[in-house]
Amino acid sequence: MASGLKIDVRRSKILEMLHRDGQVRVSQLAQMLGATTVTIRSDLDALAIEGHLERVQGGAVQTVSGYYSLEFQRRKQLDRAAKKHIAALTASLIRDGNTLFLNSGTTTYYVAVELKRYKNLNIVTNSLSIAQELGALPTFRVILLGGEVNAQYAFTYGTNAQEQLRTYRADFAILGMDGVCSKNGLSTYHAEEAVKERLMMERASETIIAAAGGKIGIEGFSFVADIGAATRLVTDPSADRQAIADLRRQGVSVLYK
């Protein structure tokens, strides 16, 4: 029997079982995860608030939005400590009252969580998860870009999202990237994201790239912009030192510690 699981691991396992079976029971989860029924009920309540499931008597059932939750929860755990560290550093650059563009991704999701310390922020995003995370905060104005939906990775895209984005301006574009390279620029694995990310950079006064060290010095599938489009890079100490030096020579301010 599993016991003493951390809260994020336990909830990830709950979502795995929910995805597999379509429903879960409190008593079953308590036995399998080595937790009390009170703890499991608390987990289910929290996951229901986040939109991952629907509570029913004695357990929970899967919602339509829950189909992408398993994949998102899995990706959130990859390099989690580094992403949360990067998110805290990125959020330290923001001030009350700023207007921000945020793209989709787990690193920018953790940035969104860190932004809760501020007031009167205007957030424009194509991330379903970020909109859900920040939408209920009373001093925040959150705009979710409309368009086609990528359910697996929980973002909107397409011409409707792009046209809407062109009507806004921001102080900062905070973007996660799959590749950050001094020679080959900024890149993403999702080709449908590239145009929208270029627009965010064009419509923002400054662009902050938030990317884990493993993405520095490499090239992703789809080109987004030359490295000069980035004002700052926030990463973690695992990033290749030579790649960091090359980026600084290109005029990118790099924050990592």
Burial of 154 (0-12, 13-18, 19+ CB in 10 A): buried
How many whole angstroms separate alpha carbon 33 and alpha carbon 92? 37
Domains and CATH numbers, the chain: 7-74 (1.10.10.10), 79-255 (3.40.50.1360)
Confidence label for 149 from pLDDT (cuts 50, 70 and 90): confident
Residues forming a β-bridge with 175:
209
* pLDDT digit string, tens, across residues 18-50: 877 778 999 999 999 999 999 999 999 988 887
DSSP letters of 18-48? HHHHSEEEHHHHHHHHT--HHHHHHHHHHHH
Q: Is the pTM of this model over 0.85?
A: no
Tokens describing residue 198 = 């270029």
Strands 179-181 and 59-62: unpaired
| Chain segment 209-257, per-residue pLDDT in tens | 999 999 999 988 899 999 999 999 999 999 999 999 999 999 999 998 7
For the ranges 23-27, 79-83, 118-122, 130-134, the lowest mean pLDDT is seen at 79-83
